[in-house]
């Protein structure tokens, strides 16, 4: 059984390039998804406190460790949720995550978003006066949270990183601490190639993990997995469209974490196909006049009243991240 390509991160950790995403995996789905994935070669699992299914992932791990894999053969990522950015909350939140997953350590722990919510009021604390909005904590800064991440015991986290950080957010935390995140996990697919972040990350040796690599397939939007150009290349290569989209991310050097809870897709998404330069360019061309970012929190329900990416949708936002 092939375990796929393995990348080396700046801290020396070995990261399997294709991982399994677990966001929106419903109760009773993710346990079998994780088990199927690991039995079929996946060694990289992407989790988060906010997905509210880490305990179920933990149940799957209990079944397969150590009979199918040893813990140290897996690369497990999880993420600090927004309501635990306050320095005194960071290790507590990590401990809760470790408890849910049933493991002593994470291979990678990320700040999930450059956005803080107040602690102790649930995952999405509602704003006391503004209906349909989450309450933000505009006092806790990204630098404070990053310092608390740096201070986490190495016995509990092998590497630390961030997610959804822009070049400005990265510059701020690096300038303040001198510690460069090992990974930035970002939305990346042919409609959102993230060229600026790619160039900056290369210079700083920050590895990029591509999330929503299949375009997430949000209801109501045309599916990237059904895009005619992607279909054309897939047909030529005798591959699935999802494999072509994963290969596009691989071509750019990302690690890629497609989510599926369906056995045949979990298996086929992991089978890598290679894109020629010509096919890569053809797939890239679909983003030229169709720039699309699917994950913009100001559009979430409840809404986060904060501008993160400089997108037109964020013009009305009252806040930007508190960096210092
Ligand atoms: N850091 C962050 O803020 C952040 C944000 C978003 C996502 N993520 C991570 O990235 C992972 C992947 O992103 P995502 O879940 O947003 O979206 P995605 O992986 O781009 O797409 C998932 C969707 O594609 C479908 N799908 C999977 N394989 C397919 C195939 N072979 N053909 C057609 N459709 C297929 C899935 O349905 P089925 O399950 O029914 O197959 C699901 O509806 C997440 O699960 C999460 O772990 C992180």
The full set of domain ranges for the chain reads: 6-314
Could you tell which of 23, 215, 227, 267 is best to mutate to test the pocket of ligand 1, judged by most ligand atoms within 8 Å of the CB? Answer: 23
Rounded Cα gap, residues 295 and 192, in angstroms? 11
> Residues lining ligand 1, CB < 6 A?
21-24, 46, 112, 163-164, 185, 211-217, 225, 240, 242, 257-262, 265, 268-269, 295
Those residues whose C-beta lies under 8 Å from the C-beta of residue 271, and which sit 6 or more positions away, are 243
DSSP 3-state helix, strand, coil percentages of the chain (rounded to 5)? 40, 15, 45
CB count within 10 Å of CB 2 equals 9
Burial track 168-179 (b if 16+ CB lie within 10 A, e otherwise): ebbebbbebeee
CB proximity list for 12: less than 8 A, separation 6 or greater: none
Please write the tens of the pLDDT for every residue from 123-149: 999 999 999 999 999 999 999 999 999
Ligand 1, pocket-test mutation among 47, 212, 219, 262, most atoms within 8 A of CB: 212
Q: How far apart are CA 247 and CA 118, in angstroms?
A: 39
One pLDDT digit (tens) per residue for the chain, 324 residues: 788 899 999 999 999 999 999 997 777 899 999 999 999 999 999 999 999 999 999 999 999 999 999 999 999 999 999 999 999 999 999 999 999 999 999 999 999 999 999 999 999 999 999 999 999 999 999 999 999 999 999 999 999 999 999 999 999 999 999 999 999 999 999 999 999 999 999 999 999 999 999 998 776 788 999 999 999 999 999 999 999 999 999 999 999 999 999 999 999 999 999 999 999 999 999 999 899 999 999 999 999 999 999 999 999 999 999 999
CATH superfamily of 6-314: NADP-dependent oxidoreductase domain (3.20.20.100)
Nearest CA to ligand 1 atom 11: 21
280 assigned to active site: no
């Amino acid at each position: 059984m092939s375990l796929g390509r393995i990348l080396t991160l700046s801290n020396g950790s070995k990261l399997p390039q294709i991982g399994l995403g677990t966001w929106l995996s419903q109760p009773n789905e993710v346990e079998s998804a994780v088990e199927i994935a690991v039995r079929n070669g996946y060694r990289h699992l992407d989790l988060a406190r906010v997905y509210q299914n880490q305990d179920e992932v933990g149940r799957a791990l209990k079944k397969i460790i150590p009979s199918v894999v040893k813990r140290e053969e897996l690369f497990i990522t999880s993420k600090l949720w927004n309501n635990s950015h306050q320095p005194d909350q960071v290790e507590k939140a990590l401990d809760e995550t470790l408890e849910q997953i049933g493991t002593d350590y994470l291979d990678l722990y990320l700040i999930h978003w450059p956005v803080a919510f107040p602690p102790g009021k649930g995952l999405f604390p509602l704003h006391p006066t503004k209906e349909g909005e989450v309450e933000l904590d505009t006092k806790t800064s990204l630098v404070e949270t990053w310092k608390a991440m740096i201070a986490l015991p190495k016995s509990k986290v092998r590497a630390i990183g961030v997610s959804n950080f822009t070049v400005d957010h990265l510059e701020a935390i690096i300038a303040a601490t001198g510690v460069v995140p090992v990974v930035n996990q970002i939305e990346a697919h042919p409609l959102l190639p993230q060229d600026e972040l790619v160039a900056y990350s290369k210079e700083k040796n920050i590895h990029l993990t591509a999330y929503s690599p299949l375009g997430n397939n949000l209801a109501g939007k045309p599916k990237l997995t059904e895009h005619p150009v992607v279909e054309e290349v897939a047909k030529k290569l005798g591959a699935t469209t999802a494999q072509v989209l994963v290969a596009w991310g691989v071509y750019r050097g990302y690690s890629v974490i497609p989510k599926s809870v369906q056995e045949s897709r979990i298996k086929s998404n992991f089978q890598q196909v290679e894109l020629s330069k010509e096919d890569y360019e053809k797939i890239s061309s679909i983003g030229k006049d169709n720039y699309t970012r699917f994950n913009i929190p100001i559009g979430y329900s409840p809404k986060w009243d904060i501008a993160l990416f400089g997108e037109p949708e964020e013009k009305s936002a009252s806040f930007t991240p508190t960096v210092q």
